[in-house]
Amino acid sequence: MPALADLPTGHTFDPIKFTVDAAKSRAYRAATGDPLSLYDDTNAVPPLAVAAFALGALMKVIELPDGTLHGNEALQAHAAVPVGATLTCVPTITRNATRAGTVFITFEFVVSHNDAPAITARSTVLFPARAS
Amino acid sequence: MAEVAPVSRVLTQAMLHAYADASGDHNPIHIDEAFAATTPMGGTIAHGMLVLSFISEMMAGAFGERWLASGSLDVRFRAPARPGDTVTARATAQEPRDGRLRYAVEVVNQTDEVLISGTAEVLSEA
C-alpha cells in the first residue's frame, strides 16, 4: 500500500468500484441522524454519503497517517444516486505540497454511475510531515 | 429564496463510532480516545464529513430532489467538533448567480464558534 506523501501531484488512481446498497445507505443515515423521508421517498442515497464512501474506498488503497485532518471539501451533485447503484470512483491527486512542516494533499474525485458523473468532489487533507 | 431551517445535533462518541463504521473512516483521531489524547487535539474529534452532513441535511430538507441532483458545497473546516458539543448548521441567503440559489453556510458549536464555513448552491427552479 503506497504512502500518500510519496504519490506525486497528477497521480491518478485506478478506478475503484463500490456499491451503495440499502444497508450501507441506512447505516450512514442512522450514523448521521438524518431523519428526512426524502431518501425513502426517492430511493436515493445522500450525496454526502456518496462522497464519504468514495473517500472510504480510497482509504482501502492508500495509507493515510493516523491523525490526518480534513481541511477543505467541495462537492457537486450532477445526478441523484439510487440505492443499489454500483459506482466507479476515479481519484486524482491535484496537490501534494509541504508547507511549514505540514503535508497538504488534495484529491479530486469523479464518481460515475452508468458512465455519467454523479458526484464530483475535491478533498484536502493534512498531516504533519514527520507522520508521512 | 426558500427558507432553510437550521439543523442541530448533540455529538456523542457513540455517533463517531457509528459514523466510522458506516463510512469506513477509522482514523483513530475520531475513535481512539487514548491515541487522540496524545495529539494536539487532546481528545477525539468528529469526522469533518459527519459535521458537514448536517449542512447537506439542512439543504436537502429545504430543496429535496433538487439538492440531490444539483446541489453543491464548498467549505473549509475551521475548528474541530468534539463529543458533547451541540452543533448547528445554518444558512444565509446570498444573491442568486448563474441560475443557482446561493447560501453562505456554516456550522457552529454551543459557544457560536465557527467550525465549518463556506457556500452551498442549488439550481433555481425552472
* Domain regions of chain B by residue span: 7-11+45-123
Query: Which residues from chain A sit within 8 angstroms of residue B48, using beta carbons?
Result: 69-70, 73
Low-confidence ranges of chain B (pLDDT < 70): 126
Q: How far is B52 from chain A (nearest CA, A)?
A: 8
Say if the Cβ atoms of A46 and B47 lie within 8 Å: no
Q: What is the pLDDT of residues B89-125, one digit of tens each?
A: 999 999 999 999 999 999 999 999 999 999 999 999 8
Beta bridge partners of B73: A75, B120
Integer Cα distance of B32 and A105 in angstroms: 24
Work out the burial of residue B66: count CB atoms within 10 Å of its CB; fewer than 13 is exposed, 13-18 middle, 19 or more buried: buried
Q: What is the pLDDT of residue A35?
A: 95
Tell me, what's the pLDDT at A131? Answer: 57
pLDDT reported for residue B126:
58
Cβ contacts below 8 Å, chain A against chain B, sum to 124
User: In Å, how far are A44, A45, B61 from A37, measured between CA atoms?
Assistant: 10, 11, 9
What's residue A59's pLDDT? Answer: 86
The cell numbers describing B96, all together, are 442568486
The CATH superfamily of B7-11+45-123 is Hotdog Thioesterase (3.10.129.10)
The pTM is what? 0.95
The candidate with the shortest Cα–Cα distance to A29, out of B22, B21, B20, B30, is B22
Q: What is the pLDDT of residue B3?
A: 84
Would the CB atoms of B77 and A72 count as touching at under 8 Å? yes
Identify the three-state secondary structure at position A90.
strand
Which residues of A fall within a CB distance of 8 Å from B50? 31-32
Contacts of residue B35 in chain A, CB cutoff 8 Å? 66-67
Q: Give chain A's domains with CATH numbers.
A: 4-131 (3.10.129.10)
Closest residue by Cα to residue B87 from B111, B63, B117, B118:
B111
Question: What mean pLDDT do residues A14-36 have?
Answer: 96
Q: Model ipTM?
A: 0.94
Q: What are A46-76's pLDDT values in tens digits?
A: 999 999 999 988 888 888 888 899 999 999 9
Q: Could you tell me the pLDDT band of residue A94, with boundaries at 50, 70 and 90?
A: very high
Mutation target vs B (from A61, A63, A69; most B CBs, 10 A cutoff): A69
Does B23 sit within 8 Å of A53, measured CB to CB? yes
Q: Which residue in the set B22, B67, B73 is minimally distant from A31, CB to CB? A: B22
